[in-house]
Structure 1
Amino acid sequence: MKRQESVLFLILFAYCAFVSIVNPTFLALDNIFDIVKSSAGMMVLAMGVLVVLVSGGIDVSFTAMAIFSGYITIRIMIAFGIDSLFLAFLASAFIGLFLGFLNGIIVHKFRLRPLIVTLGTQNIFIGALSVLFGTKFIPVGQMPKSIVRFGTNSLLSIPLSSGGTANLTLFLVPVALVVLVTWFILNRTMLGKSVYALGSSPVAAQRAGLNIASIRYFVYSYMGVLAGIMGIIYAAEVRSLNPISLVGEELTIIAATVLGGAKLTGGRGTVLGTFFGVLIISVLNTTLILIGLSSSWNNFFVGIIILLSVGITAFRNKKESEKNLIFL
């Protein structure tokens, strides 16, 4: 582990130890499994955000892409009587791919700032759902049975002494695949090295002969694919779907990624750091009630985390610049 990741691990360990002292029920197996389940969707989206940030871009439309992809997919499945979890993931990921690719084209072809572009497309995606479906809620009774089963079945069930059962969610399977694939792309492929190079210096990357357009199309498309996967995971988790669900969670996920060491200016970030960042945010959100605070404090602490993360990044950049000036 790098220094940043070691620090995050120690923070997570120290906070968990503190919560377990204040409220010993935190260490109950069913509570730990609930934290794992609640962090699954965030983990998938954070991996996409990591890739985009490393490339020097930013995307705030990913929650809109997730709900758009998942909602449209499930509406199509209901209309045609399709009940296949595999096809649900495939179709939603494909829709997400298209939406993400659209973001990439607009950002690269028109040389526009990605924050402005994705703010615009976020509203377009949600607006399109509102125009097409209004606020038509998909209840559990209409949801495809395969998706409902995916949300309720368990990878592992352990009987508890209290008489209940601790169930480890099946969501771990797609989440683990996403984490491993993202790690492999960033650390074991030329494409991953190109993503880091683009984020570090677009001018140097272009001089080195890298295809900037292809890299940008990839990172935004990959974000779209993961958003599509998240759309189905979210539908399975809540066992219902609303066209305006999820939107508003962007900052929390970006905060988790930045907390994990990703630079908002690009060129830096790791899968392991993002993994710890997501866990810290998830544990924080889940345990505030256990230590006597209301859930209303969630946004407050997320805001503090964003400011601290950005402040630390700015301080490091300043130190690196000063060091480079000394050696010039």
Structure 2
Amino acid sequence: MDNKLTQYFKRISKKTESYLILFLIFYILLMSFVSDSFLTLINFFDLGKNASGMAILALGAFVVLLSGGIDLSFTAIAVSGQYISAKILLSVGVDNLLFAFALSCSIGIFLGFINGYLISRFKLQTLITTLGTLSVFHGALLTIFGTAPINASQLPQCIIEFGKATIFRIVREDGSSYGLSVFVLFVIGVVILTWFILRFTMLGRGIYVIGGNEEAARRTGFNVDSIKLFIYSYVGFLAGIMGVINGALIRFIDPTEIVGREINVIAAVVLGGASITGGKGSILGTLLGVFIISILNDNLVLIGLSSFWQRFFVGVIILAGAILTAVQSEEKKLIR
């Protein structure tokens, strides 16, 4: 019994998620001494609401990293879906949330498919390709649709109401209330969908195999090109969801916004244990990475640091992830 328990703890201690959970516990305890308002339900509800969009993008970025690729264009896809769908809703006079999601996700899937097609058809490097399409997609959006933001007074009412919607509300003694945003339900839905694809489908198995060794995946019968088309289309689909959520969150749609956040998202996924070279990572680790990046970003000022330090921490995380991947690769070679 003792031997089994020892083996279990050894296995757990090797998981990235274990270290992230320990860090979170330590950080939460530390911040509870620094600020009385940190360890409160309303603060965690706000954190969950604000981090929802990032979590959805991170799950898409995680799937790409798992396949051995990297996507930098998902923020341009998100803002394109967000802005174009809002423009269409306003021009045709339709005030329907489902229609907004359908438009944004359709745009996202289309742009993601373009990424997948370019990468699979011409065997292009994913980093360079998506860096290029980031500029192409965003530049085309600004050129064709303009740069004028859509403020709260112009936004479709369905998006405004969506931003206010909660799963449940808690009423304070003074009569004011706060609640858990419905955005969290979208994150849960995306988590379940992504987990199901990766865990129970041949498509998900193919994503892992491609990340480990693309040529081996081809030899074992996986249609690598089709899987890549799915991966980048799926990222586009999730970016479309995030676009609507982001507009509802801030009640303001700016076509120059969102783009620039891709490094934070990738840092969260790498922090969560995803290997930059593919084939390794977990959904739980990704969510923990998002949570850590979010609370660090929100609370740097509370511990007396400038918000500019956030860029420093993100850079350190990405470098640490790259070094860890290189060290693990060397260890595997020595074992062989």
Q: TM-score range by the shorter chain?
A: over 0.9
Matches within 5 A, 1:304-315: 304-315=316-327
Q: Is the Cα–Cα contact under 8 Å of residues 56 and 199 in structure 1 kept in the other structure?
A: yes
Match of 1:195 among 193, 196, 207: 207
Query: Aligned partners of 2:304 and 2:181: how far apart in 1?
Result: 27
Unaligned runs of 5+ in 2: 1-11
- What residue in structure 1 maps to residue 128 of structure 2? 116
Q: Is the Cα–Cα contact under 8 Å of residues 138 and 242 in structure 1 kept in the other structure?
A: yes
- What residue in structure 1 maps to residue 243 of structure 2? 231
- What residue in structure 2 maps to residue 92 of structure 1? 104
Query: Aligned partners of 1:311 and 1:16: how far apart in 2?
Result: 27
The amino acid of 1:317's aligned partner reads S
| Identity in percent | 48
Unaligned runs of 5+ in 1: none
Q: Is the Cα–Cα contact under 8 Å of residues 157 and 166 in structure 1 kept in the other structure?
A: yes
Matches within 5 A, 1:40-189: 40-160=52-172, 164-189=176-201
Shift of residue 106, structure 1, vs aligned partner: 0.4
SS at match of 1:27: coil
Cα deviation digits, residues 202-249 of structure 1 (max 9, x gap): 111010011011110010000000001111001101111111111111
Asked whether 1:303 is paired with 2:321, we answer no
Asked whether 1:292 is paired with 2:304, we answer yes
Cα deviation digits, residues 35-73 of structure 1 (max 9, x gap): 111110000000000111111111000000000011101
Q: Runs of 4 or more off by more than 6 Å in structure 1?
A: none
The amino acid of 2:255's aligned partner reads P
Query: Aligned partners of 2:175 and 2:305: how far apart in 1?
Result: 29
Query: Aligned partners of 2:28 and 2:131: how far apart in 1?
Result: 35
SS at match of 1:25: coil
Q: Is the Cα–Cα contact under 8 Å of residues 276 and 321 in structure 2 kept in the other structure?
A: no
- What residue in structure 2 maps to residue 11 of structure 1? 23
Cα deviation digits, residues 145-203 of structure 1 (max 9, x gap): 11110111222211235764332111111111011101111112111111000110011
Cα deviation digits, residues 267-310 of structure 1 (max 9, x gap): 11111110111111111111112222232221111112222222
Query: Aligned partners of 1:287 and 1:163: how far apart in 2?
Result: 28
Shift of residue 81, structure 1, vs aligned partner: 0.7
- What residue in structure 1 maps to residue 218 of structure 2? 206
- What residue in structure 1 maps to residue 43 of structure 2? 31
Q: Is the Cα–Cα contact under 8 Å of residues 58 and 269 in structure 2 kept in the other structure?
A: yes
The amino acid of 1:147's aligned partner reads I
The amino acid of 2:312's aligned partner reads F
The amino acid of 1:100's aligned partner reads G
Q: Is the Cα–Cα contact under 8 Å of residues 289 and 295 in structure 1 kept in the other structure?
A: yes
The amino acid of 2:238's aligned partner reads L
Query: Aligned partners of 2:131 and 2:203: how far apart in 1?
Result: 27
Match of 1:273 among 278, 285, 290: 285
The amino acid of 1:134's aligned partner reads G
Query: Aligned partners of 2:115 and 2:322: how far apart in 1?
Result: 25
The amino acid of 1:256's aligned partner reads A
TM-score by length of 1: 0.96
- What residue in structure 2 maps to residue 247 of structure 1? 259
RMSD: 1.3
Q: Is the Cα–Cα contact under 8 Å of residues 209 and 279 in structure 2 kept in the other structure?
A: yes
Q: Is the Cα–Cα contact under 8 Å of residues 252 and 302 in structure 1 kept in the other structure?
A: yes
The amino acid of 1:88's aligned partner reads A
Shift of residue 132, structure 1, vs aligned partner: 1.5
Asked whether 1:22 is paired with 2:22, we answer no
Q: Is the Cα–Cα contact under 8 Å of residues 29 and 166 in structure 1 kept in the other structure?
A: no
Query: Aligned partners of 2:316 and 2:174: how far apart in 1?
Result: 38
Query: Aligned partners of 1:277 and 1:190: how far apart in 2?
Result: 27
The amino acid of 2:224's aligned partner reads I
Query: Aligned partners of 1:252 and 1:52: how far apart in 2?
Result: 15
Using a 3 Å threshold, how does the CA distance of structure 1 residues 319 and 162 change in structure 2: closer, same or farther? farther
Cα deviation digits, residues 62-88 of structure 1 (max 9, x gap): 000000011101100000011111111
